[in-house]
Structure 1
Amino acid sequence: MTQERLIDALRPEWLQDPYGLYRRLRERSPIYWDDWMRSWVVLGHADITRLGKSGSLSGARIADFHERLPKGARAEMAPLAKVLSDMMLFTEPPRHTRLRRLVRPGLTPRFIRSMRPMIERLAESLLDAVIERGRLDVIEDFSEPLTRGMIAELAGVPPESAHLLENWQGLMHEFFTQSSKEVGRIQHLHDVFGKRAAERAAGMATDRFSEMIAPQVAEDEFSDDEIFANFILLIDAGQATTTHLIANAVLALIRHPDQIELLRRDPALAANAAHELMRYDSAVQFTTRIAEEDIDVPGHAIKRGQSVTLVLGSGNRDPLCYQDPDRLDVTRKATDHLSFGHGIHYCLGASLALAEIEIAIATLLRRCDDLRLGHQTPEWLESINFRFLKSLPITFTPRQA
């Protein structure tokens, strides 16, 4: 009998819920070599954290992946490869440190607090549009337009170009599945970026992205390609991932009505619940790195140049880290979850994403009773990495003010 592997997450019995598969893989061996993926697969929270912080793994893997594509696909994917290779996410120090400095000073607690009223107003207005009919699609009517509106504001995408952000599925997914359908969209966004860059050069830009990067650009010589790539990273991470984090959180709560009642009795739990909901069902399930040196892990020898896949979704359900890990508990202190990554690649936009999840959930629960699934078996994107629902129709009873 063939042993189970990570790719088995695509099988129908695991696509709905891969966490049982992770448990079986973890119990067999928390680290194993996967012949199909040509990668070490790491499943335990402690090992993922230790390796992620060790400095022995590199995220700079775009060029290597791109070079291994067939000639025709390589040419077709070149525009996406160029953008991704200039993102801080796929670089290492010292370049990573420099690129991270481009946006980090802008994402301060004070800045996030300044965004909260805007998130609250947008969440309320989106529910205003559907509240009387007693049904909505969480993604189409709520989480996607919420995150799209926030990113349009943050990235400085003008209203006439906002359609370029609709139905954003994420460049990483498109690149690693060798899909070129987003190339045209990226080119159009490059035109939008070019107009903003000209305004910045003339000292006339008033958008938040320009405001965020202005001091750093004045101190360092960032190329237009570098600024554009991290403008796209802001969109990519801030929209697609957060859209599905909110949807996954709503699905989890509907399936655990006792947790909804806890949140209604104590709304102050919302911020804590955002972390627990991310731990419970993250939108991104793993990240892949390249070993920059030989690494000795008890019982395993990772060689320089080998691929290492850190399964964040498995680490988030590791019983050695979390008691009863398959239980959703909005009172759990789970701020050490892995959904935002770890080490130098910890997500810079984590605080903004948490604020959006917290506000979205709190607003939905305050205004809607009797939340129920429109379909008992939601349909998931066929991916072993991106835990994205295709849609999430629900019904509800409007709550009296």
Structure 2
Amino acid sequence: MLKYIRAKFRPANISHTAAPPTLAVIDPYSQAFIDSPYSALEQLRHHSPVHRCTSGSWLLSRHRDISAALADPRLSNTPSDYAVVNQRHRDRYTCADVANNTLPFMDAPQHTEARRNIARVFHEQLRRASLQSNLPTDTPSDLLHDFATPLCTKTLCSLFGIAPRQQTAELDRQLKLWANWFFSLFSAIPSQQHRQQLDAELHSFRQFCSGLLNQKRQHPSDDLPSALAQLHDQTPSISDTFMADNCMLLLADGLNADYAIANALHCLLQQPEKINQLRAKPELIPAAADELLRFDSPVLFIARRALEDIQLHDQLITENSGVLLMLAAANRDPDVFTDANTLNFEREAKPYLSFGRGQHGCIGRVLVKQLLELSLRWLISEAPNFALVRTQPLWQHQAGHRWLQDLPVKIP
């Protein structure tokens, strides 16, 4: 017998026309999709809001469906039985052990208390942080590599109590490399060679975070690892490895905020009138940060796994199927956002989903938004009038994400 979904997961009046032939070949993991996703996402919302793609996974593309899915306990965060990072591989692969130790891959109630406590100490440290001093002082020629990445790296090193004398260029490069490898956990692992390198990088990253936590336990100071070490000591049920792996998560989240900043600055440089609007009305900057994160999210989709059969609209999502929540599609749903394909800094506040929502919302979202607001203030007050070097951006092949390879600029 089919198990029907709650009313909250079933919009009242659903209608869609027959799907055009091009939808049959949509591959959300492909470079073509990453390069230009929004036309395909619009077709999905209109013609096939619950769509089975060529990989066998289901794509949800409407805001209402995705919002409900984020809160539905029948859609699990735990890795699929077929995934390399499934828990049965924990003794064989470091990547599987790390994945099953970190909050984004855990379901309630296992993750609930740990997430609440880790988020609390993280936000307490963030409230005391001074981000302004982390802005680069040299005029950048690339707004990703010369501006956003150094800003995020310096900010995270400060939060994690890494002294300026320790923050060498080599360490900066290594931290950023580890952060990018960590995010491979959220994508398909394409080969044994890739998995082996991922295991090696995660092992080194884990050792770094373990050493940092042990150092701060012995010599505590006013920084995030000291607070995490104290939390660990107060919570016997949390293992050393669990805390080190979630320390990795927090570092990777913050370091990769540079891609959200780069996406936002890229959007602005394509519409210089928006920069002039912020110069004239800087009070719009907090709303502008939200709108830029909605308009060109660095996260295209996140994955879930069906724990049972779910009937949604006219489709049956069978037990253990992969379900991709297309956050970028929800962020441009015209049923929620008027003129959704237009950048509007005076838009009425709406619940965009770039960071997920609810108990599995991204812990680092506050930091990302603060760094983006700081970057916008810098752009309108301190930076020269930049212009893009190339009209067509280059996007990394990072499934689930939309990350620029670079953002070269010039001064006309």
TM-based fold match above 0.5: yes
**Aligned mates of 2:63, 2:298 — CA distance in 1:** 17
**Aligned mates of 2:226, 2:319 — CA distance in 1:** 41
Structure 1 position 390, deviation (Å): 0.5
**Could you say which residue in structure 2 is the equivalent of 1:129?**
138
- The code of the aligned residue for 2:128 comes to S
**Aligned mates of 1:226, 1:346 — CA distance in 2:** 19
Q: Is the 1:57–1:292 Cα contact (8 Å) retained in structure 2?
A: yes
Out of 181, 189, 202, the residue aligned to residue 205 of structure 2 is 189
**Could you say which residue in structure 2 is the equivalent of 1:226?**
242
Over 3 Å counting, the alpha-carbon distance change for 1:121 and 1:251 in structure 2 is same
- The code of the aligned residue for 1:22 comes to L
**Aligned mates of 1:120, 1:56 — CA distance in 2:** 43
**Could you say which residue in structure 2 is the equivalent of 1:40?**
58
Secondary structure of 1:370's partner? coil
Secondary structure of 1:282's partner? coil
Out of 62, 66, 69, the residue aligned to residue 84 of structure 2 is 66
Over 3 Å counting, the alpha-carbon distance change for 1:75 and 1:9 in structure 2 is closer
Secondary structure of 2:93's partner? helix
**Could you say which residue in structure 1 is the equivalent of 2:8?**
none
Structure 1 position 151, deviation (Å): 1.6
Over 3 Å counting, the alpha-carbon distance change for 1:148 and 1:252 in structure 2 is same
**Aligned mates of 2:200, 2:31 — CA distance in 1:** 32
- Considering only aligned residues, what root-mean-square deviation do their CA atoms show, in Å? 2.6
- The code of the aligned residue for 2:212 comes to R
**Aligned mates of 1:93, 1:8 — CA distance in 2:** 28
**Could you say which residue in structure 2 is the equivalent of 1:374?**
389
Over 3 Å counting, the alpha-carbon distance change for 1:23 and 1:395 in structure 2 is same
Q: Report the count of equivalent residues.
A: 380
Deviation string, structure 1 residues 115-134 (Cα, Å, up to 9, x no partner): 2x3x21111xx1x212xxxx
Structure 1 position 76, deviation (Å): 12
Over 3 Å counting, the alpha-carbon distance change for 1:120 and 1:289 in structure 2 is same
Over 3 Å counting, the alpha-carbon distance change for 1:321 and 1:9 in structure 2 is farther
**Aligned mates of 1:54, 1:252 — CA distance in 2:** 33
Q: Is the 2:84–2:189 Cα contact (8 Å) retained in structure 1?
A: no
Question: Structure 2 length as normaliser, TM-score?
Answer: 0.84
Q: Does 1:50 align with 2:64?
A: no
Which segment is superposed worse, 346-355 or 174-183? 174-183
**Aligned mates of 2:44, 2:92 — CA distance in 1:** 33
**Aligned mates of 1:334, 1:78 — CA distance in 2:** 43
Deviation string, structure 1 residues 165-186 (Cα, Å, up to 9, x no partner): 1344242336623424344443
Q: Is the 2:182–2:202 Cα contact (8 Å) retained in structure 1?
A: no
Structure 1 position 18, deviation (Å): 1.1
Q: Does 1:259 align with 2:271?
A: no
Deviation string, structure 1 residues 182-218 (Cα, Å, up to 9, x no partner): 444433333333333333443x222622333245324
Over 3 Å counting, the alpha-carbon distance change for 1:190 and 1:16 in structure 2 is closer
- The code of the aligned residue for 1:172 comes to F
**Aligned mates of 1:154, 1:280 — CA distance in 2:** 29
**Could you say which residue in structure 2 is the equivalent of 1:10?**
30
- The code of the aligned residue for 1:153 comes to S
Aligned positions of 1:389-400 closer than 5 A: 389-396=404-411
**Could you say which residue in structure 2 is the equivalent of 1:294?**
309
**Aligned mates of 2:335, 2:312 — CA distance in 1:** 17
Structure 1 position 299, deviation (Å): 1.8
Q: Is the 1:276–1:333 Cα contact (8 Å) retained in structure 2?
A: no
- The code of the aligned residue for 2:27 comes to I
**Aligned mates of 2:202, 2:34 — CA distance in 1:** 30
Q: Does 1:169 align with 2:190?
A: no
The structure that is helix-richer by fraction is 1
Structure 1 position 347, deviation (Å): 0.9
Secondary structure of 1:66's partner? coil
**Could you say which residue in structure 2 is the equivalent of 1:235?**
251
Out of 199, 207, 218, the residue aligned to residue 215 of structure 2 is 199
- The code of the aligned residue for 2:152 comes to T
**Structure 2: which 5+ residue stretches go unaligned?**
1-20
Out of 104, 111, 114, the residue aligned to residue 89 of structure 1 is 104
Out of 141, 147, 154, the residue aligned to residue 149 of structure 1 is 154
Q: Is the 1:196–1:205 Cα contact (8 Å) retained in structure 2?
A: no
**Aligned mates of 1:183, 1:285 — CA distance in 2:** 25
Over 3 Å counting, the alpha-carbon distance change for 1:15 and 1:56 in structure 2 is closer
Structure 1 position 378, deviation (Å): 1.5
Secondary structure of 1:147's partner? helix
Deviation string, structure 1 residues 328-363 (Cα, Å, up to 9, x no partner): 112223451100012211011111110001101211
Q: Does 1:20 align with 2:45?
A: no
**Could you say which residue in structure 2 is the equivalent of 1:30?**
49
Over 3 Å counting, the alpha-carbon distance change for 1:185 and 1:248 in structure 2 is same
**Aligned mates of 2:55, 2:253 — CA distance in 1:** 25
Q: Does 1:113 align with 2:124?
A: no
**Aligned mates of 2:259, 2:291 — CA distance in 1:** 15
Which segment is superposed worse, 382-391 or 339-348? 382-391
Deviation string, structure 1 residues 31-80 (Cα, Å, up to 9, x no partner): 1122x222111000110001111222111116641168xxxxx7998122
